[in-house]
Amino acid sequence: MNRAPFSDIDEVTVAPKLNVREVRGKLTPDAPLAPLVWFKAGGAADWLFEPADLKDLTHFLTQLHGRVPVMALGLGSNLIVRDGGVPGIVIRLGKPFAQVEKLDDTTLRCGGGASGILVASTARDNGIAGLEFLRGIPGTVGGFVRMNGGAYGREVADILVDCDVVLADGSSLNLPAADLEYTYRHSALPPGATVVSARFRGTPGDPAAIGAEMDRIAAAREESQPLRSKTGGSTFKNPDGKKAWQLVDAAGCRGLSIGGAQVSEKHTNFLINTGTATSADIEGLGEEVRRRVSESQGVDLQWEIQRVGRP
């Protein structure tokens, strides 16, 4: 049995008094996370586990008995990994979890590691409308489900039937959409849970019309967002009745910088790494933007980007 990259030993010590045996996926200690996130900044994970399949994931986590912190990582598009790194285990779902299949005329089953583009394209090819907005979210199904991802007037709460998750102790749950208690960019998904699959339901549609809507969304993103930069997507949630980018712009923050981090000139709700930014630069810039918006307009912006790890 392959236990890469530890094929020459029988046991891998993950934390004091905790041992993991017979790992078939890839288990890497002190794994740099900067290459795996869009900002290209931040520290390492104590351990990065890329499971071979669902059985491998549940077997691995069962051996930890819920005693080690667990965090799932998708495409890293909506994430600041702090410079001190992430304690415990980071789970990254690869190709074995990236499948999308049609269940019926309006429903897809999607692996937790499947990208938004793949889900939207599969829906288009099968004449399922209502999932086009996923084309505009740079992430994976697991992240969409956790964050109630949304764009262009739609969100995951509109299409999710249910999801399958693996908890930090290796146990499995099927959660109907109602159990996630969705609000704007938030869910009640248990901490440490990894979304391994989800069912999305749309409506019957014409593939040509669906494709045209996906093209419109792609063009709108290209025109308005700094897609060629090292960024993390939308930084702040839109307050009720307001647009975060307008508040940031009105506070005079367009182009504002700290170290190698800068507020995008193209879209002021995006922070970018100009090339040398640390995660402390990026997070510090976000906090400075929040301070200026609060002082100038009396609005307390809330982070949409997730910030994890040690300072």
The confidence score (pLDDT) of residue 122 equals 98
Give percent of the chain with pLDDT exceeding 70: 94
Dist. CA 55–CA 59, nearest whole Å:
6
The confidence score (pLDDT) of residue 140 equals 96
pLDDT at 14 over 60: no
pLDDT at 3 over 50: no
pLDDT at 18 over 70: no
pTM of the model: 0.89
- Name which of 188, 177, 185, 131 is nearest 154 in CA terms: 131
pLDDT at 9 over 80: no
The counts of H helices and E strands in the chain are: 6, 21
**Is 254 assigned a catalytic role?**
no
Dist. CA 93–CA 194, nearest whole Å:
9
pLDDT at 2 over 60: no
**Is 109 assigned a catalytic role?**
no
Query: Of the residues 82, 124, 185, 199, which is catalytic?
Result: 185
**Tens-place pLDDT, residues 38-89:** 999 999 999 999 999 999 999 999 999 888 999 999 999 999 999 999 999 9
170-188 CB burial, b ≥16 within 10 A, e <16: beeeebebeebebeebebe
**Tens-place pLDDT, residues 138-184:** 899 999 999 999 988 899 999 999 999 999 999 999 999 999 999 99
pLDDT at 4 over 60: no
Average pLDDT, the chain: 92
pLDDT at 107 over 90: yes
Query: Of the residues 234, 264, 290, 292, which is catalytic?
Result: 234
Q: For residue 69, is the peptide bond before it cis, meaning its omega torsion is within 30 degrees of 0?
A: no
Q: How confident is the model at residue 258 (pLDDT cuts 50, 70, 90)?
A: very high
Domains of the chain: residue spans and CATH: 11-92 (3.30.43.10), 97-209 (3.30.465.10), 226-303 (3.90.78.10)
**Is 155 assigned a catalytic role?**
no
In terms of phi and psi (left: phi > 0; alpha: psi -120 to 50; beta: otherwise), the region of 248 is: alpha
Tokens at 61, concatenated: 């986590």
